[in-house]
Chains A and B, each alone.
Chain A
Amino acid sequence: NAGVTQTPKFQVLKTGQSMTLQCAQDMNHNSMYWYRQDPGMGLRLIYYSASEGTTDKGEVPNGYNVSRLNKREFSLRLESAAPSQTSVYFCASSELARGQETQYFGPGTRLLVL
């Protein structure tokens, strides 16, 4: 199993450009998440999807949209990138087993917006 995969690994955008970050998991998990991580601020939840066809806002959703394309894939879109969106983006998926939930993270996408 590859676990959680993300593409691209690195991206440089100009202000105003759009792009989609891709995430896929092969663990048959129902829940998937997008986080951003900035220095000194830890991970902050952007959006999550508890199941195929549902999405919910997290702590910092402004400037982003998401699509839960199917059970495996959860994409994050920046319609008009801003320098404040320069960050490392992590996708995660989770399973609920024996009443406990465990999140597994992808390798991250490093985004620089100029």
Chain B
Amino acid sequence: QKEVEQNSGPLSVPEGAIASLNCTYSDRGSQSFFWYRQYSGKSPELIMSIYSNGDKEDGRFTAQLNKASQYVSLLIRDSQPSDSATYLCAVVVNNNDMRFGAGTRLTVKP
């Protein structure tokens, strides 16, 4: 079992819809969770971090964490074509050791 698992997609949503991206992780001791966005040919950029169970909102983005279920998700409201990218879920397993999922490719259709 991979340490961090995501559906590879592609996930396609119409403009204005809610995009829901999911991630599960295997290390129950993990405390820090991140969502990165990566445009094709570019480097990852941090969108959200979450450390506590529940929801964390930042603009159109909401991260949700459920440590009991070892599940973290990212919701993108009012999706825009500019949101089309690969979204990487990352989990810190030991101090500085961050493990990434393979990413979910999102396409927002105008």
Contacts and interface: CB of A to CB of B under 8 A. Distances in A.
Instruction: Indicate whether A and B interact.
Output: yes
A58 B49 CA distance: 21
Interface size on B, as a range, is 20 to 34
Interface string B22-60: 000000000010100000001111100101000000000
Interface of B: 4, 8, 32, 34, 42-46, 49, 51, 88, 90, 92, 95-103
A50 B95 contact: yes
Interface of A: 31, 33, 35, 40-45, 48, 50, 56, 58-59, 90, 94, 99-108
B102 A40 contact: yes
B39 to A, nearest CB: 12
A103 B46 contact: yes
Given A90-B44, A100-B49, A105-B44, A44 B100 contact: yes
Contacts of B102: 40-42
Given A31-B96, A45-B97, A103-B46, 12 more contacts: A33-B96, A42-B100, A43-B44, A45-B99, A48-B97, A90-B43, A100-B49, A102-B49, A105-B43, A105-B44, A105-B45, A108-B43
18 contacts: A31-B96, A40-B102, A42-B4, A42-B100, A42-B101, A42-B103, A43-B44, A45-B99, A58-B97, A59-B97, A90-B44, A94-B96, A100-B49, A101-B92, A103-B34, A104-B46, A105-B45, A108-B43
A103 B98 contact: yes
A42 B43 contact: no
B46 A101 contact: no
Contacts of B51: 99-100
A74 B20 CA distance: 36
A108 B39 CA distance: 13
Contacts of A44: 100
A59 B32 contact: no
Specify which of B8, B44, B88 lies most central, judged by the most chain A CB atoms within 10 Å of its CB: B44
Given A100-B49, A107-B43, A42 B98 contact: no
